[in-house]
């Protein structure tokens, strides 16, 4: 499966082959996967294109500002429990 333009851009901007802290790595992995799950990847891509010098924290803050609270569309609490059992 080919990466989306958004994922490729996130990798280009934030994956410099240097070791990341635990928090940075979690933020990076979320930014790679979360927007697709929450169905706001197009908005995130637009933000990145308009703000190429943003930090991961800036991008995560933007994601939080445009994403309603709760689980990704189509996911239930039961889905989370199923993931924890794996």
**What is the per-residue pLDDT across 19-41, written as a single tens digit (0 to 9) for each?**
999 999 999 999 999 999 999 99
Ranges under pLDDT 50 in the chain: 84, 86
The neighbour count for residue 41, using CB atoms within 10 Å, is: 18
User: What does the pLDDT read at residue 86?
Assistant: 46
pTM, to two decimals: 0.81
Rounded Cα distance between 66 and 11, Å, is 21
Number of domains in the chain: 1
| Sequence-separated (6 or more) residues with CB below 8 Å from residue 40 | 63, 66, 67
Burial class (CB in 10 A: 0-12, 13-18, 19+), 14: middle
Structural domain boundaries, residue 35: 5-85
């Amino acid at each position: 499966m080919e990466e989306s333009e958004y994922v490729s851009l996130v990798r280009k901007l934030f994956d410099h082959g240097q070791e990341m802290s635990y928090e940075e790595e979690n933020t990076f992995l979320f930014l790679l996967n979360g927007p697709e799950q929450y169905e706001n990847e197009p908005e995130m891509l637009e933000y990145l294109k308009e703000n190429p010098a943003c930090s991961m924290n800036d991008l995560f803050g933007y994601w939080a500002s445009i994403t309603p609270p709760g689980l990704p569309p189509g996911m239930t609490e039961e889905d989370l429990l199923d993931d924890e059992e794996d």
